[in-house]
Amino acid sequence: GAALSILNRTRERAEALAADLGPAVSVAPDAGVLKDADLVINALSVAPDIALETLKPSAVVMDMTYKPVVTPLLAAARARGLTAVDGLAMLIGQATPSFEAIFRRPPPPLDLRALLLAHLGEAV
């Protein structure tokens, strides 16, 4: 039942992605859509130009980038008091089903977040 809007640097790419995802997905006309957003996900490899002050206080901001773990977008979101989710959450979320698909068994019980942070040389 969620409404999904795509905002992209080019309208053509947003329309192509929306078409791939189906009729429940719309293309946002402009960044004004963010004022009503419950969740904003950055999938760019660079920092997006988002006016965080326009987001409602309950909005969640996710940046799919995981190096650095705390991106400028996430740092700004946290400074504004918003819930911020880093890209490791998605990477770790994909790890179990990927491991099971490849090895046909559950992965060993590991603290993947701690291992990844150590590997990336990050401390959060």
Confidence class for position 46, pLDDT limits 50, 70, 90? confident
Query: Distance (Å, rounded) from C-alpha 43 to C-alpha 63?
Result: 7
Q: Percent of the chain scored above 90 by pLDDT? A: 83
Closest CA to 119 of 95, 85, 84: 95
**What is the pTM assigned to this prediction?**
0.86
Q: Which two tokens stand for residue 93?
A: 């979320």
User: Is the predicted pLDDT of residue 103 greater than 90, yes or no?
Assistant: yes
| CB < 8 Å & 24+ apart, contacts of 110-113 | 113/88
Q: Where are the chain's structural domains?
A: 1-36, 37-124
pLDDT at 49: 87
40 strand-pairing partners: 61
CB atoms within 10 A of CB 107: 14
Q: What is the pLDDT of residues 60-100, one digit of tens each?
A: 999 999 899 999 999 999 999 999 999 999 999 999 999 99
User: Is the predicted pLDDT of residue 39 greater than 70, yes or no?
Assistant: yes
Options 3.40.50.720, 2.170.120.20, 1.10.3720.10, 1.20.1090.10; CATH for 37-124 is: 3.40.50.720
